[in-house]
Structure formats: C-alpha cells, structure tokens
Structure 1
Amino acid sequence: MRNEAWQTWAEQLTTGITKVDADLRVRWLNGALAELLGSGMRSAVGQPLALWLRAPDELAQARRALDESRFVQLREATLSAFDERTLQADIALQPDDDGGLLLEVHPLAERSRTASPLSATLRGFAHEVKNPLAGLRGAAQLLQRRVDGAELQALAGLIIDEADRLAALANRLLHHDGAVRLGAVGIHQLLDRLSDLLQAEPSPPRLRHDYDPSLPDVHGDADRLQQVFLNLARNAVEAGARTLILRTRAEHGVRAGARVLRSALRVDVIDDGRGVPAELRDTLFEPLVSGRADGTGLGLALSREIVREHGGELRCTSRPGETVFSLYLPLERGHE
C-alpha cells in the first residue's frame, strides 16, 4: 500500500496509530492517537517516544524491536498523556519499510467499554472494503444476466453471495453491532461451502475431507466462522499448499483460555505448504504479524478473535510440509 493511501486509511481508524523514526521520534500519528494523548497532530511530530512511553523497560523493548527488526507486543504498557493523565494500553510495535517502527495503541479502559471484542482497527478496514464489495457485486450481477450456462451463472451467484456476506460483516462492525449472533451452525456445511469457493479459484488446491458425520451442530455465527475457514485456507494456499485436508472430530477436556471445555468440536485445516517461519510462531496470532511482504497481518488475528468470541480456541502446529490449524468450539450451549 502506498504511503499516502496508507495514511488516508489509518486516519479513518479509531485505533491510535503512529510511526516513529530510527531515533524513536514521532514521524506521523493519526487523529485517534492525538486525541487519546491530548496533543495536536502537528505539535506531536518530532517529539521523542519517551515523552509518552516513559518506563525504561518498555522503551528498551521498543529499541529492541527497532534494532532487531522484529515484532514486539507490550502488554499493559503505561502511557503519559500531555494533560498529565496516565493510561494503560496494549501496544503492538512493528518494523516498517522506512527504518522506523509502526505502533498500534489499544487503550485497555477503552477496550473494556467497547461492546464488540473486535478491534477498532477492523472497523476501519471494514469501512475501506465496502465500496469495492459493492462494485464486485454489481459486476457479478451483470455477468450472471449475460452469461449462458448454469455453471457460469452459479459461479456468478457465488460471488454475489460472498460479497453480500462480507458486506453484512462490514456493516455490523461499522455500526458497532459486533456481538456474536448465535444460532445452530452445521460445520460440515460451512466446510463444503469453503470447498466450493476454493474450487472456483484459478489454481485450486486438492481437497480431502475427513469428517465425523456424527458431530452435532454448534452454536455460533455462521458468517464469522465461514470467514475463519476462508482465512485459514487462503493462508495455506499463499504458503504454497497444493493439498488441503479438512478434518472434524469431537474432543474432550480442551483448555480454551481460563476454561476447560468438557466437550468440543475440533476442525483441523491441514496443508502441505512451506510452514510457519520459526521467527513468527510465538507471535503468529498478533495483529500486524505476517510472513508475506504484502500481508496485512490481520487475518489470523481476526480469526482468533472470532473463535474466542465463540468461547473456543485456535491453535497451530507447523513444520515444512505440514501445518495444522486446529479450531475448537464448545458443544455445550452457553460456553459452559
């Protein structure tokens, strides 16, 4: 994404974003962070990060992220605002292409007041995708009316349905109506639809299904769970996978955060791609972490948040030639 376009996108976010240079001085910040810190956007440029992030160990971690060109996540960091307030925040520090750092700031107090557990960053992203989705849907409608043959019309219909599904997700994020809408969901139906979507792509992977047909429905949000499966499958394809195995099983005594699920449905997405780089395995599900130069680092972070919204967990094991993403969902109503 070009720098001007990126800044336009970042300015629309309600999440605080800033860029600092190699001397840890502010090069740019968005309005959300300026408001959070009680500073004007222009007056903040050129100031040292140490004015906001005063704890020596936290500054040392920022310097390490810069010197070692690595992602660092600061948990419950202390920020000093310009009106003498003190704030607690989680801060993601990511090296950028200009030799500095990109910081994404999530105030903890703000997070606890937010109705939706999905981040404000994702609401900004939802805003950006609405117009392209509308154009995509319109083009697919024209194709559906003009092409001959049931197969081509069905493919156009698939595009329309997916555009509608993503537009609905975007609207719910933008309107802060982000709570999970639970209903009976047939996991195998979602996986079959995933297969249809993948087979419609130009160079689809080989697909194998290993389902336990005795598994019951889960209580979940079908659209969001479909997005998780799409994210996992697309990541696998982009990692060079030529074969995907979709496997479902029942499992007992699964730990999901502080809970232990007595009974859970497990979905494994298994691929034969390059695997997860060793340096990314500890931070794989963090925002802004990606193994690709053109990656956003949002897909897996979003997937884990969606699964946790459902009271479940998302895990990964990986080696070259075999990567397994395992999604666990509670089978008991009410997430125990």
Structure 2
Amino acid sequence: MSEQAWRTWAEQMATGLALVDAQLRLRWLNPALVECLGLAFRHAVGQPLGLLLDDADEGMARAAKVRAEQRPAQWRAVALAAADDRELSADIALQPFGDGLLLEVHVLAEPPSAASPLSATLRGFAHEVKNPLAGLRGAAQLLQRRVEGEDLQALAGMIIAEADRLGALANRLLRHDGAAQLGPVNIHRLLERLADLLLAEPAPPQLHHDYDPSAPDLHGDADRLHQLLLNLARNALEAGARTLTLRTRVEHGVRVGERMLRMALRVDLIDDGAGVPPTLRDTLFQPLVSGRADGSGLGLALAREIAHEHGGELRHASRPGHTVFSLYLPLERTHD
C-alpha cells in the first residue's frame, strides 16, 4: 500500500494517528487526532512532535530513541497538550514508518462512558462482519428446518443467535456514537456461553473451569465483553491450543495504567498453544498485526479496545505450551 493510499484509509479512522518525519516534525495528523486535541492543531504540520505533548522535551527524547533504535514502543498515560487546556492523557504506540515514525494515539477517558467515541478497530470489526451475517443466518435457518434431532436443531439455533448478536453489535457500533449498552454482567454466564460456542467447534478444545464463586456482577456491555472473550479464545485455538482453562479471580489494589482499582475482576484464558512469537510481543495488540499470513490483525486489537472501553486492561505472558491472557476489569462503579 502506498503512503497516499494509506493516508486515504487512515483519514476514515476514529483512532488518532500522526506521521512524524526524520527530524521529528509533524508531517500529517488525521481528523480524529485534530478533533481530539482541538481545531487549533489543524495547522500543526511542520511543527515539532513535542507540540502534541505536555512534556515536550521528554517526548522528543523518547521519540528520537525509538527512531534511532528502529524498534516499536508503547507510552502509557502520556499527558497531551490539548488546545483548550483540557486534561487529556493517552496510551501512544510508536513504530518506525519510512524514515520517520507513526503514532497511534488512544485517548484515555473516564471509563466506561456512554458517549465514548467509536474506535477505528471497532468500526473495522463492524464493517468486516456485517456483510456476511445475513447469508450466515439464512443458511442456519434452512438447516434448522431441514435437520432432524434436537441436538442439530440446537446447534443451528446457536448459529442464528450468534448471527443476531453480531448483527445487533455491528449496527450499534456503526451508529454515530457507538455507545456501549451498559448494565449488570455476570462474567461466569459469559464464560459458559463462550464454552458452549467452543464445544461446538469441529475439533473442540478440552475445557477447564476455575471460577471464583465470590465474583460479583460487573458493570459493562455484555455483548462487547463476550466478543472480547471470544477473540481471545479464537486466538488461542489458532495458535494450536488443545486445552483451554477459563479462570476468574477477584483482586484488590490493582493498578491499571495510572489508576489504582480498589477491587478488580481478573479473567484468565490459559492455553497450551504455540505461544506469542517474540517478534510480536511489543506490538501484539496493535491493529493489523498478526502472527498468521491469513490473519486480519483485528481480533486482539478489538479485544484491547473493549477492555479500555470498560476501564480495564489486557495483559499477557507467554511461553511455548503455556500462554495466559489476563483481562482486568473494575468492579467498583465509575462514580465511586
């Protein structure tokens, strides 16, 4: 893809993006980043990268190091220099791009917010799944009418239910605000629903359950959290996992970014697959990054977006034969 074609694509993204040249001057900002920082930044092209950052000197030094070492880096909870003196912070991913750098800016909002903007990854997911859903649902309805036996009809019904869920989710994401549908969520019901889907696979994994019975309901969007868990499980299966453990724990005093959670729910998906390649460990959750030639690179990026949307975080630890993806979600309400 040429840079011009890439820019055309990136102009449509709702995630903030910027290109920086070899002298660490801003070459381009997409509309989402300009809108986030304030319209005064529409004339920022040609200015030093530090213009975007509250601590310009430190930011320039860190960016120079990334460019010199030609290695991607993640900055956590960086203070941004918004035009109207708003206090904004963001997680920033930097990676070499030509002779300069590409910045991907994920603004940290007070989570979860019913008016939070729709991320580019969520929008990409919605566009990707929406078109084939009608055909999938129609085929499942035909099967349900033609097959005999309650088990086969139940499997067809599961396909229809998933198609309906994804269709409704895609429609919500593609609306202007993409607002989450918040309410009480029982994490163990979501995990059992996930287990039903995995056991319907042609070659289902062996599942183990290790639940903390004291885990209370959390406040979130059940469909989006279900999609997050499904993406983690699919990632494990695509890495060759034959055994998957679903584990929950309640933890106290957990740091998520710059925020200390008094009480958090930890959901672990543990698999015995090939593990995360060392070359991908620093960029694993970035959009369009995949360890497979036929991978879209959206699954884990989407999972991270949903975790951030809920005020949570995704972490991973991996070695061949033992990979753990851990989802941390706040259990206290956002006004506490």
Query: What TM-score results when the alignment is normalised by the length of structure 1?
Result: 0.71
1:261 and 2:257 matched: no
Q: Equivalents in 2 of 1:236, 1:226: separation in Å? A: 15
Determine the C-alpha separation between the residues in 2 that align with 1:330 and 1:59. 33
SS of equivalent residue, structure 1 residue 273: coil
Q: Distance in 2 between matches of 1:71 and 1:322?
A: 25
Q: Tell me which residue corresponds to 1:273.
A: 273
- Report what 2:216 is aligned to: 216
- TM-superposition CA deviations, 1:162-182 (whole Å, max 9, x none): 111111221111112323512
Distance 2:304 2:211 in 1: 22
1:227, distance to aligned residue in structure 2 (A): 0.8
After TM superposition, list the pairs within 5 Å mapping 1:129-168 onto structure 2: 129-168=129-168
Partner letter of residue 179 of structure 1?
A
Q: Give distance in 1, aligned partners of 2:216 and 2:57.
A: 52
Output the CA distance in 2 between the equivalents of 1:34 and 1:130: 29
Equivalent pairs, count? 317
What secondary structure, in the 3-state scheme, does the structure 1 residue paired with 2:305 have? helix
Matched ranges for 1:80-229 at <5 A: 115-175=115-175, 176-183=177-184, 185-229=185-229
Instruction: Please name the residue that 2:283 is paired with.
Output: 283
Name the structure 1 match of 2:26: none
Identity %: 70
Mean CA deviation greater in 287-296 or 201-210: 287-296
Q: Give how far 1:30 is off.
A: 9.3
Report the TM-score, using the length of structure 2 for normalisation.
0.71
What letter corresponds to residue 179 of structure 2 in structure 1? Answer: G
Structure 2 CA distance for aligned equivalents of residues 166 and 205 of structure 1: 23
Q: Hey, what's the Cα distance between the residues in 2 that align with 1:215 and 1:108? A: 26
- Separation in 1 of the partners of 2:241 and 2:19? 35
Write the distance in 1 (CA, Å) between the matches of 2:147 and 2:10.
40
Q: Where does structure 1 lack aligned partners over 5 or more consecutive residues?
A: 21-28, 40-48, 79-87
* Residue pairs, 1:242-257, within 5 angstroms: 242-257=242-257
Structure 1 distance, partners of 2:163, 2:324, is 28
Q: Is the 8 A contact 1:227 1:303 kept in 2?
A: yes
1:88-133 CA-to-partner distances (Å, cap 9, x unmatched) read 998756679x999987677999xxx993244134224413421111
- For structure 1, which segment, 124-133 or 154-163, has the greater mean C-alpha deviation from structure 2 after superposition? 124-133
Q: Displacement, 1:319?
A: 1.6
**2:25 match:** none
SS in 2 for 1:282: coil
Q: 1:201 to 1:56 in 2, by over 3 A?
A: same
Please give the alpha-carbon distance, in whole angstroms, between the structure 2 residues aligned to 1:239 and 1:34: 38
8 Å contact from structure 1 (residues 71, 289) kept in 2: no
Look up the match of 1:325. 325
1:315 is displaced (CA, Å) by 1.8
Do the aligned partners of 2:121 and 2:305 also contact (CA within 8 Å) in 1? no
Task: Decide whether aligned partners of structure 1 residues 278 and 289 sit closer, same or farther in structure 2, where only a CA change above 3 A counts.
Answer: same
The Cα shift of 1:249 comes to 2.0
- Does the Cα contact within 8 Å between 1:50 and 1:59 map onto a contact in 2? no
CA deviations over 1:51-106 (Å, ceiling 9, x no partner): 9979999999999989987545687899xxxxxxxxx998756679x999987677
| SS of residue paired to 2:282 | helix
**Structure with bigger RCO (C-alpha 8 Å, 6+ apart):** 2
Q: Deviations over 1:243-268 (max 9, x none)?
A: 10111222222222312223x22221
| Distance verdict in 2 for CA 1:125–1:102, change over 3 Å | farther
Give me the whole-angstrom Cα distance separating, in 2, the residues matched to 1:107 and 1:211. Answer: 33
Change beyond 3 A, Cα 1:132–1:8:
farther
Amino acid at match of 1:267: V
Give the aligned partner of residue 299 of structure 2: 299
User: Match of 2:325, as an amino acid?
Assistant: F
**Alpha-carbon distance change, 14 to 219 in structure 1, aligned in 2, over 3 angstroms:** closer
Tell me which amino acid in the other structure corresponds to 1:284.
L
CA shift for structure 1 position 195: 0.9
- What's the secondary structure of 1:216's corresponding residue? coil
Partner of 1:43: none
Q: Deviations over 1:189-244 (max 9, x none)?
A: 11111111111112221111112234332222111111111011111111111110
Separation in 2 of the partners of 1:16 and 1:180? Answer: 24
Given that 1:76 and 1:90 are in contact with CA atoms closer than 8 Å, whether structure 2 keeps it comes out as: no
C-alpha spacing 1:270/1:332, structure 2 compared with 1 (3 Å): same
